[in-house]
Amino acid sequence: MSGPRTRPSPLALLAALITLYLAVPLVAFVVRFASSPRRGFHEPGLAAALWLSVSSATIALALVTLGGVPLAYLLARSRSRIATFVGVIVQIPLALPPLMSGIMLIYVVGPYTFLGRLFDRQLTNSRIGVILAMTFVAAPFLIVAARAAFEAFDHSLLDVAATLGHGELSRFARVAVPEAGRGIRAGMLLAWLRAFGEYGAVVVLAYNPSTLPVYAYNQFGGVGLPTTLAPTALAVAVALAAVGLSRLRFSRPPRDEAPRRPSAPERVPAAAIRFAVDHHVGTFHLALATDAPVRHLAVLGPSGSGKSALVRSLAGLHGAGAGEFWCADEPLHRVAVERRGVGCVAQGFSLFPHLRVWEQLRFARRATPELAAYWLDRVGLGGLERAYPSQLSGGQRQRVALAQALCGAPRVLLLDEPFSALDVPVRHELRRLVRELQRETGLSTVLVTHDPEEAGFLADDVLVISGGVALQAGPSRVVFEHPASLEVARLLGIVNLLAATVASSESIACGDVRIRADAAGLEVGSAVSWSVRPEHVVVGHADDVARPFASRWPATVLDVAYVGAASDVLVAIDAGPELTARSFEPVALAVGEACAVSIRPDAISLWPVSSDRSAALGAVH
């Protein structure tokens, strides 16, 4: 018994209708061609007309490609009024009837114009006239298609190429054109077919010699329909051949294979970095600077705080006016991005989709086969030399991106949240790898991240930012132990953020609980915020809390959560606040059980509630 019949969708019906409309004339022609005794293959001038159309269309395509692809690239990257105006000019031939396009060209290259007389009236009624007419009507098809393709690909790849040492022309030829290749090929096909089939503009500019369309029209008007079968059949065959050629894809081997003896890079001299960035991105103002030279810096901040804008500024992608950047005593801000020697590993695995792994590593200007082979092995990519990015896992792609940057032999490595899209095991593995590379290579690094753990693991100094300005800067241990403001504490992931009032210069009141803390300089009775890191909160049974603590209160266990190697215990102090304690020892407490809580006074940070950002930087600890 057959199942229920499904009704075709409206989309399928519409698609079938237009396909039928396009196919029926072709089928009718094939039937007439097969049954006709006279087709016109022996008529004089047919072969010459075919060759003139094919060769002239090919020359016109070459001219259009030579100038049209760069023009499309520039139009895709510009939003200026000039680009808008040029974009309109480019599309005008699409709207003009071809006959009128020919008339417009007569005003420029006709026999009595300046150019016409300059070339002895050879620009019309000649092969040159045919090419000029074809070029004019076909150019918009390539330019429009190529522009759309250039706009569609990931432009951050151009920035990656710049940081790997490639100038503007090299980025265009080695990145933009391959990435937009499918759109460019489609535009070239359309342009060639349009040129091959052009009639109106060619008739006006160059009636003789005759192209294939002009020849077919003359046969139709002079002899009749039967002799037009041959030129029409040839035109269909040429069109099918052109379409078929455009669909061919050629596989190519890697440019060179990895050598058998990798060569380790030379360890670079330790070089401290410092910067003073002052840059506007639209209405956003980025104003960040380091107070002292650093070697391994983490820039910690929330989304939208300016972290990626800082990386782009340091890499030179915002131009020389973005601020100063020094490596040792060398002013990198005075050097173009491709010559700065600054490697960049961005979030999102910015690899070139058209290149294999080995080619990715060899892409940097300063990369050598020996150096690429070393990093290929060092980051664990052996055996993947011929793989494309689409064939790799997320962790493998990020390893390629890291190795690619290192193959450029940079002096400074910028890491723009490189592990944010990875799962936890891979993220920890790659963090460990980067930390090892920091020791092995001597590279200075700048890491931007929103992960406090990542910042502490990979940096000696931390710069906490928000809204494009610095909140706190200093050695990692100092910043993590003593956040300078409530906002900094939140960004550092401190969970115990509470409100209180100043009870005395040595204590605060939180609920009915008095907590010893250094409140010197704060007005008694004033509102404050305070925090304590979970690892500084000690929880034990009600009668066995260790004693070098000045504050000890009875409490109740609300929850116990096991987070990897540690346990987080949520407790509620009697008549006081709730706190989270983190223990790296086994917790022998149950939910609802009475316990005791202790906090060292010097582990508590205080901030006046009414303080602004600048006042918070001088907060009391």
8-state DSSP, 355: S
What CATH class does 39-246 carry? mainly alpha
Q: Is residue 203 within 8 Å of 102, Cβ to Cβ?
A: yes
The angle subtended at Cα 130 by Cα 126 and Cα 135, nearest 5°, is 145
Q: Which residue in 297, 527, 525 sits closest to 415, CA to CA?
A: 297
Q: Kindly indicate the confidence band of residue 550, based on its pLDDT and cuts at 50, 70 and 90.
A: low
d(CA 353, CA 344): 18
Tokens matching residue 199: 């009639």
Q: Which residue in 184, 194, 193 sits closest to 76, CA to CA?
A: 184
Tokens matching residue 620: 């009391």
**Position 297: which residue type?**
L
- Four-CA torsion 551, 557, 563, 565, nearest 10 degrees: 60
d(CA 551, CA 546): 11
Q: Kindly indicate the confidence band of residue 544, based on its pLDDT and cuts at 50, 70 and 90.
A: low
Chain centroid, CA 433 distance in Å: 23
d(CA 44, CA 55): 19
**Position 132: which residue type?**
L
Identify the pLDDT of residue 349. Answer: 61
8-state DSSP, 159: H
Identify the pLDDT of residue 269. Answer: 73
Q: Kindly indicate the confidence band of residue 251, based on its pLDDT and cuts at 50, 70 and 90.
A: low
- Four-CA torsion 347, 349, 354, 356, nearest 10 degrees: 140
Q: Which residue in 313, 315, 277, 271 sits closest to 405, CA to CA?
A: 315
Is pLDDT above 80 for 352? yes
Q: Which residue in 273, 269, 290, 267 sits closest to 327, CA to CA?
A: 273
Identify the pLDDT of residue 260. Answer: 58
493-616 topology per CATH: OB fold (Dihydrolipoamide Acetyltransferase, E2P) (2.40.50)
Is pLDDT above 80 for 208? yes
366-385 tens-digit pLDDT: 999 999 999 999 988 888 99
Q: At what angle do helices 181-196 and 229-246 cross, to 10 degrees?
A: 170
Q: Kindly indicate the confidence band of residue 135, based on its pLDDT and cuts at 50, 70 and 90.
A: very high
Identify the pLDDT of residue 4. Answer: 64
d(CA 497, CA 531): 5
Tokens matching residue 431: 């963090």
For the chain, where do the domains classified as CATH 1.10.3720.10 start and end? 39-246
Strand order, beta sheet including 323-327: 284-289, 273-281, 323-327, 330-331
8-state DSSP, 338: G
Identify the pLDDT of residue 254. Answer: 56
Is pLDDT above 60 for 102? yes
d(CA 411, CA 431): 20
301-315 tens-digit pLDDT: 998 999 999 999 999
Is pLDDT above 70 for 610? no
Lowest mean pLDDT among 254-258, 267-271, 314-318, 493-497: 254-258
Q: Kindly indicate the confidence band of residue 291, based on its pLDDT and cuts at 50, 70 and 90.
A: confident
d(CA 562, CA 50): 80
| Ranges of H-type helices in 153-199 | 156-163, 168-171, 177-179, 181-196
Identify the pLDDT of residue 36. Answer: 84
The angle subtended at Cα 506 by Cα 505 and Cα 512, nearest 5°, is 105
Identify the pLDDT of residue 253. Answer: 60
d(CA 151, CA 75): 9
Identify the pLDDT of residue 615. Answer: 36
| Residue 568, beta-bridge partner list | 561, 582
Over residues 223-242, the mean pLDDT reads 89
Is pLDDT above 80 for 448? yes
| Residue 155, beta-bridge partner list | none
What percentage of the chain exceeds 90 in pLDDT?
56
Other Cβ atoms within 10 Å of 9 Cβ, number: 9
For the chain, where do the domains classified as CATH 3.40.50.300 start and end? 273-481
Q: Kindly indicate the confidence band of residue 220, based on its pLDDT and cuts at 50, 70 and 90.
A: confident
Mean pLDDT rounded to a whole number for the chain: 88
Q: Kindly indicate the confidence band of residue 545, based on its pLDDT and cuts at 50, 70 and 90.
A: low
Is pLDDT above 80 for 547? no
Strand 296-300 with 444-449, pairing:
parallel
Q: Kindly indicate the confidence band of residue 619, based on its pLDDT and cuts at 50, 70 and 90.
A: very low
d(CA 522, CA 489): 20
8-state DSSP, 172: I
511-539 tens-digit pLDDT: 889 999 989 889 999 999 999 989 899 99
d(CA 368, CA 407): 8
What CATH class does 273-481 carry? alpha beta
Strand 444-449 with 412-416, pairing:
parallel
Is the peptide bond prior to 209 cis by the omega test (within 30 degrees of 0)? yes
Q: Kindly indicate the confidence band of residue 188, based on its pLDDT and cuts at 50, 70 and 90.
A: very high
**Position 71: which residue type?**
L
Q: Is residue 147 within 8 Å of 69, Cβ to Cβ?
A: no
Over residues 334-352, the mean pLDDT reads 86
Q: Which residue in 527, 524, 500 sits closest to 604, CA to CA?
A: 500
Is pLDDT above 90 for 40? no
Is pLDDT above 90 for 299? yes
Q: Kindly indicate the confidence band of residue 548, based on its pLDDT and cuts at 50, 70 and 90.
A: very low
Tokens matching residue 398: 């990020």
For the chain, where do the domains classified as CATH 2.40.50.140 start and end? 493-616
